[in-house]
Amino acid sequence: MMTVQSFSNTLFADAESPYRDAAYVIFGAPFDGTTSFRAGTRDAPVAIRAASYNFETYLPYYDVNMLDIPFHDMGDMYCDVLPNLVADQVESVVSSLQKDKKIPVMIGGEHSITVGAVRALRPRWYIVCDAHLDLKDEFRGSPFNHDCVTARVAETVKKIIIIGPRSGIREEFAEAREKYLLYTADDVFERGMTEILDEIAGLIGDDSVYLSIDADAIDCCITPGLGTPEPFGLTPRDIQSVIKRIAKNVVGFDYVEVLPTDAGETAIVAAHLIREFIAEHYHARSG
C-alpha cells in the first residue's frame, strides 16, 4: 500500500475544506482587459496562490491555525473578453456564493471585476483602499474600465469610503469630497490610520460592508508589482489595520491589481493580507 504523502497544488495554501463545509470561498478573476498602463494583472491569482505557501499555518495575533478555518478555493473563472460581461460573470458567481451562505474572497485581476461582486451583495457600505478615485464615467470607450469602478459601484451603493487616493483629476476629487467620505494618503499620513478607522467604525456601526483592496493603495516603493504604480502611498501595515478593524462587517472581500513582475513582494503582501482577512473575520464572528 502506498504511504500517504502531501502533494502541492495550485490552490491557495491551507484551503482544504470541501465547498459544502466552507464558510469562505476564494476564487480568481484573472481579467485585465482594460488595464491602462502596464498589463498582466491576469497573472496575479496564480502568483498570489504560489506566494501563500510561504507562510506558516498559525497566525499568532489571532491565535488561530488557518487549517482550522473552513475555507475553500474554487480556482479561477474563465473570463469573457469584455469587461461588462466579466462583471456579469462575477455577479453570477458571487450571487451563488451568497445563496450558499459563503463569504466570497475574490482575487484579481483588474479592479473592474469588483463591480459584479458589489451588484450581487448590495452591501450598505463600500470601502475601498486605492491610489486612484476611479470615478470616471467612461474611459477609453468603456464605462466598465478599471478607471470607472467606483463610479459603477456608486450605481448600487451610495455610502462609499475611499482610503489612500493620491491620483486623479480635479473634478474627481471634488466629486469624491462632495458625495463620499474621502481619506487621502496624505490624510492617513497626517492623522494616522487609527484615528481615521475610529471615525469610520463610528459611522458604519453594524452595517454590512464590501471591502476592496487595490494593491496600488500601497506605496509602489514598497510593493512595486503594480499596473498603475503611485509613490507616497499607504503601507502594508495600514491595510492590515483596515482589515482588522472592518472585517467583522464584511460580506465580500477582494484584492486586485497585483502585477507579478517584481521579485514577489507584492504577491507576498497580497497573500498575507488575504489570510489576515479570513482569520480576522473568522475570529470576530467566532468570538
Give long-range contacts, CB 8 A cutoff, 24+ apart: 174-180.
175/133, 175/135, 176/133, 176/135, 179/154, 180/154
pLDDT tens column, 179-189:
999 999 999 99
Instruction: Tell me the per-residue pLDDT of 28-70, one tens digit each, with 9 for 90 and over.
Output: 999 999 998 899 999 999 999 999 999 999 999 999 999 999 9
Give the tens place of pLDDT for each residue, 250-264.
999 999 999 999 999
What kind of architecture, by CATH, is found in domain 19-286?
Answer: 3-Layer(aba) Sandwich (3.40)
Closest C-alpha to 196, from 209, 204, 187, 206: 187
Which pLDDT score, from 0 to 100, does residue 4 have?
A: 54
- The side-by-side arrangement of strands in the sheet containing 250-256 is 71-76, 24-29, 103-108, 250-256, 209-214, 125-129, 159-163, 181-183
CB-neighbour burial class of residue 16 (10 A; exposed 0-12, middle 13-18, buried 19+): middle
Residue 119 has pLDDT above 70, yes or no: yes
What is the domain partition of the chain in residue ranges? 19-286
The tens digit of pLDDT for each residue in 209-221 reads 999 999 999 999 9
